[in-house]
A and B are shown apart, each in its own frame.
Chain A
């Protein structure tokens, strides 16, 4: 399988660990359901990034599932956490949003769906560690501007639209500065009570 997906390696690393390019995410160890949803979304144009849309254009569901399972099963080491380039105050703001949310503005904490250690939940909620700040903020931006969409109800689009630019910067800085998790696995299906309905993660 590794040879079949060498086309992915030049951007995502041979084991899906990510590369030095800050906009290309780590794939390894994300739940297979999440990776599969993204592959289908890129193929069908729901999630827009021309190089990915083009590569996946003519690959059938069954193969995309195998590709997703392949990367979900890999556990390459995590990159060293990023050294934050923002103020301590911003970092603290990021931590507050990620762990407690902002109830007054209706923003749920990241941890409520992605897990208290941000490892994600089966089948389709991704882990948030091992990603660079630029990638995280680009994704949140993508949701706000419609280049990234998911099956309705698109919970992340709702969350992203509640965040300000400063919130995005803070959350991205905080998450990217977290060390590798001690246990790189995701939460069991349905084990986290989700505050929002999510089309990608049917309850």
Chain B
């Protein structure tokens, strides 16, 4: 090697590093952004099986139409998405179509992800290409006739799917728009918090009005009604605590929402959590979808109440207080707790039967747990104590029957 060139090498190297370093920094920033957005989209919750390799898919998802197995989204070229281009990835997120044009089952929330911007889709794509590839063949879905016919998705799409990126509302604040983008898009909150009809679709006109989650037997409360999970009366701090820590002075997350906080929401930054809180709080100015339930005859409900109080004083009052004030955030208040008074009593009954832990999060790493009572209380006793907490201390819920309690004993726990 000529001496002059040798002498120049360090200079060349320095020059190179000037050129390369920003590119690498840019890559690192893109990957970090993609990883963050993948958290916001909660990709991991469905695309990772229990004890399975991260993002390698294979998780069975039970639907009323059969079992769907989630796909491998690692960059393995044969079994994952290693051969996909960023255009093809965007096509799936935005349009619900595979690279070959095939239709994606709407268990993948492309109805929400369609709102994700191209730049964010590209960042997630870049991140998913950077994770370790896993060779694991996708397992075929196990869907019942006629739902195993993919062309049915065409009908579903006609009824329920509108492609289109999020359009900011110039009349609203930047925070509101950011929150709306996250809640309606990557957060895909509407997948549970909008009622699913018999066709497996959800109607935009009923967005965020709540509904029973099929197969899981948990009720996803309305986000638009202050009588349910509407957050109109919550402070921004209470909402952000709830979303990020999983506990707040108003109540704790449980059931499927615990999964969302554990895998997704706890990782969002202060600004985004706050933006979501602002948007969610604003949602409650809409309609109230109240549907009256048939009340129990008075004689039956008054009997339930006196038994309910006895059980409450014996089993519940030590944590939730004699008059239901709790000791927030770890022992949630029951008086004034919207989640207990909703028309659907499913969640309150299930909490009494199964108990539960809020998720362990960075903000609440050692949560307090509620004991299960399924093995200690009879159906009558469960109905009595749930009726008591739904109707005492100013709570305005309706009585529940032993039959309702009995039906939920068989609810799937996982």
A105 within 8 A of B: no
Q: Is B371 in the interface zone, CB < 8 Å from A?
A: yes
Q: Is B50 an interface residue (CB 8 A)?
A: yes
Contacts of B357 in A (CB 8 A): 7, 55-59
**Does the CB pair B414–A50 fall under 8 Å?**
yes
Which of B51, B319, B355, B359 is in CB contact (< 8 Å) with A58? B359
Name the segment of A8-16, A78-86, A111-119, A157-165 touching the other chain.
A8-16
> Is residue B403 contacting chain A, with contact meaning CB distance below 8 A?
no
A65 to chain B, nearest CB (A): 11
A74 CA / B8 CA spacing, docked (Å)? 70
Cβ contacts A to B, 16 pairs, < 8 Å: A7-B355, A7-B371, A7-B372, A45-B51, A46-B51, A50-B413, A50-B414, A53-B413, A54-B356, A57-B414, A58-B259, A58-B360, A59-B367, A60-B360, A63-B367, A66-B366
- Determine, out of B85-93, B131-139, B373-381, the stretch whose residues face the partner at the interface: B373-381
Distance in angstroms between the alpha carbons of A11 and B376 in the assembled complex = 9
Considering the complex, which residues of chain B in the window 119-153 have a beta carbon less than 8 Å from any beta carbon of chain A?
none
Count the A-B residue pairs with Cβ separation under 8 angstroms: how many? Answer: 82
- Chain A at the B interface: mostly helix, strand, loop or mixed? helix
Q: Does B370 count as interface, using CB distance less than 8 angstroms?
A: yes
Complex interface: chain B residues within 8 A of A6 (CB):
319, 368-369, 371
Interface residues of A toward B: which range? 20 to 34
Q: What is the 8 Å Cβ interface bit string for chain A, positions 143-180, against chain B (1 contact, 0 not)? A: 00000000000000000000000000000000000000
Q: Does A102 contact B (CB under 8 A)?
A: no
Give the distance in Å from the alpha carbon of A142 to the alpha carbon of B261 in the complex: 33
Binary per-residue interface labels of chain A (63-106) against chain B in the complex, 1 for a CB within 8 Å, 0 otherwise: 10010000000000000000000000000000000000000000
* B113 contacts chain A at the CB level, 8 A cutoff: no
Spell out A's residues near B (CB within 8 Å): 3-11, 21, 44-46, 50-51, 53-60, 62-63, 66
Chain A nearest Cβ from B265, distance in angstroms: 12
List, in ascending order, chain A residues with CB within 8 A of B354's CB.
Answer: 51, 54-55
Q: List 13 additional A-B contacts (Cβ < 8 Å) besides A7-B372, A11-B371, A58-B258.
A: A4-B369, A5-B369, A6-B369, A10-B371, A10-B373, A50-B412, A54-B356, A55-B372, A58-B358, A58-B359, A58-B360, A60-B365, A63-B360
